[in-house]
C-alpha cells in the first residue's frame, strides 16, 4: 500500500506522476511551463488525463545556468501553494535535492519529496520526516547534482542500485518518514550510461521484489534516444515501450511528460496482468 498526501494506492495500482517544469531551459519543453498560466494549464490537463501526482521542478537536471536555492524556492513554492488550492486531493511532489527548497515546498503544501540525486543532501529526509511527507530514494551513482557521468562503471549496476536505494529507504524510515510513503527509483540516466539504464530496466524485477514501491522516470530520456538514435521529440514510442516493460516487471509510479499515452499503456498492461477489467466488454456477446 502506498500513501501520499490524502491518497492511498493499492499495491497493483499504477500511478502517473506528471512533470511540470518551472524552468526556462528544460531539455524537453524549453521553458513552456516556466510562466504560471501555462504551468497551471498543464496541471489541469495532466489531472484530466489521469495523473495522480504533479511533480514540480525548479531546476533542470542537466548542466546549465546556476540556480540558487532561493531562486528554486521562488520558482516552486508559490506555484505549489496555488496547485494545492485548486486541487486539494492531488498529490504534489517537488523535484529537488536541497533541504531548503523541500522545507518551503512542504510548507506550501507538497506531499512528496522527489530526490533525484540520491541523498546528496542528507537533511532532505529529515525535512520529509518532520512534515510527514513521502520521499523518493534514487540511485544517482554518486555523481554531483546537474553533472553528467563520465566513463562511469559498476561491477553490477543493479546490485549498486539496490545497495544505495534500500539504504536510503531504511535511513528515511529510521528518521521517521512514513514507511508507506517511501519509494525507490533506479535513476535511469543518472550516473549511468545507456547500457546501465537498459540493464536496470531489464532487471527491474529485482527492485520490485525488494518490498518498496518502485518509481521509474523514463520519459524521453537519453538512454531511449541513444538506443533508438532519436532526438528528444521522437522518443515517445521508445518511452512507452520501456514503460510497458517496467509495468510488467512491477513498477508502480511513472514520471511522465505524456500523461494520456502513458495512462493507456499502463491500463493495457494492468488488464493483461489481470489487475484491471477491460473498460468495455462487447465482443462476442451480440
pLDDT in tens, 126-160: 999 999 999 999 999 999 999 999 999 999 999 99
Categorize the per-residue pLDDT at 32 as very low, low, confident or very high, splitting at 50, 70 and 90: confident
Identify the pLDDT of residue 31. 78
Provide CB contacts within 8 A for 77, sequence distance 6+: 101, 104, 105, 107, 108
pLDDT band, residue 226 (cuts 50/70/90): very high
Average pLDDT over residues 45-71: 96
- Residue 34 and residue 21 in contact, taking contact as beta carbons nearer than 8 Å: yes
Q: Active-site positions?
A: 221, 255
**How much is the pLDDT for 33?**
87
Q: What are 167-194's pLDDT values in tens digits?
A: 999 999 999 999 999 999 999 999 999 9
pLDDT at 30 over 80: no
Delineate the domains of the chain, giving CATH numbers in brackets. Answer: 2-273 (3.20.20.20)
Helix, strand or coil, per DSSP, at residue 92:
strand
Geometric angle at alpha carbon 158, from 116 and 248, rounded to 5° = 85
As a whole number, the mean pLDDT across the chain is 96
Interval 88-122: pLDDT, tens: 999 999 999 999 999 999 999 999 999 999 999 99
Q: Phi-psi bin for 201: left (phi > 0), alpha (psi -120 to 50), beta?
A: alpha
Q: Given this model, what pLDDT does residue 206 score?
A: 98
Looking at the predicted structure, is the pLDDT value of residue 207 above 90? yes
Q: Strand, helix or coil at 242?
A: helix
Q: How much is the pLDDT for 172?
A: 98
The pLDDT of residue 273: 97
Please state the rounded mean pLDDT for residues 57-82.
Answer: 96
Residue 196: the pLDDT is: 98
Per-residue pLDDT band for 223 (boundaries 50, 70, 90) equals very high
At residue 25, the pLDDT reads 82
Lowest mean pLDDT across 18-32, 230-244, 262-276: 18-32
Share of the chain above pLDDT 70, in %: 100
- Of the candidates 104, 162, 105, 110, the one whose C-alpha atom is nearest the C-alpha of residue 138 is 162
pTM above 0.75, yes or no: yes
Amino acid at each position: 500500500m502506498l500513501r501520499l498526501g490524502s491518497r492511498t494506492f493499492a499495491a497493483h495500482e499504477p500511478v502517473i506522476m506528471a512533470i511540470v517544469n518551472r524552468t526556462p531551459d528544460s531539455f524537453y519543453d524549453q521553458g513552456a511551463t516556466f510562466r504560471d498560466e501555462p504551468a497551471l494549464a498543464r496541471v489541469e490537463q495532466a489531472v484530466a488525463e489521469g495523473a495522480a501526482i504533479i511533480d514540480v521542478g525548479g531546476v533542470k537536471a542537466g548542466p546549465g545556468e546556476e540556480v540558487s536555492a532561493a531562486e528554486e524556492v521562488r520558482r516552486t513554492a508559490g506555484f505549489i501553494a496555488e496547485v494545492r488550492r485548486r486541487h486539494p486531493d492531488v498529490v504534489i511532489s517537488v523535484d529537488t535535492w536541497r533541504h531548503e527548497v523541500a522545507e518551503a515546498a512542504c510548507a506550501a503544501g507538497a506531499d512528496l519529496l522527489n530526490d533525484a540525486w540520491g541523498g546528496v543532501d542528507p537533511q532532505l529526509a529529515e525535512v520529509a520526516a518532520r512534515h510527514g511527507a513521502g520521499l523518493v530514494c534514487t540511485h544517482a551513482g554518486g555523481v554531483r547534482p546537474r553533472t553528467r557521468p563520465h566513463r562511469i562503471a559498476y561491477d553490477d549496476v543493479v546490485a549498486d542500485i539496490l545497495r544505495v536505494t534500500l539504504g536510503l529507504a531504511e535511513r528515511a524510515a529510521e528518521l521517521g518518514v512514513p514507511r508507506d510513503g517511501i519509494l525507490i527509483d533506479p535513476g535511469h540516466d543518472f550516473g549511468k550510461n545507456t547500457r546501465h539504464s537498459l540493464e536496470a530496466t531489464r532487471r527491474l524485477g529485482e527492485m520490485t521484489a525488494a518490498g518498496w514501491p518502485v518509481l521509474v522516470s523514463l520519459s524521453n530520456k537519453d538512454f531511449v534516444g541513444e538506443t533508438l538514435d532519436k532526438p528528444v521529440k521522437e522518443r515517445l514510442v521508445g518511452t512507452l515501450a520501456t514503460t510497458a516493460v517496467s509495468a510488467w516487471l512491477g513498477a508502480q509510479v511513472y514520471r511522465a511528460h505524456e500523461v494520456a499515452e502513458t495512462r493507456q499503456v499502463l491500463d493495457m498492461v494492468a488488464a493483461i496482468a489481470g489487475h484491471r477489467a477491460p473498460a468495455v466488454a462487447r465482443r462476442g456477446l451480440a
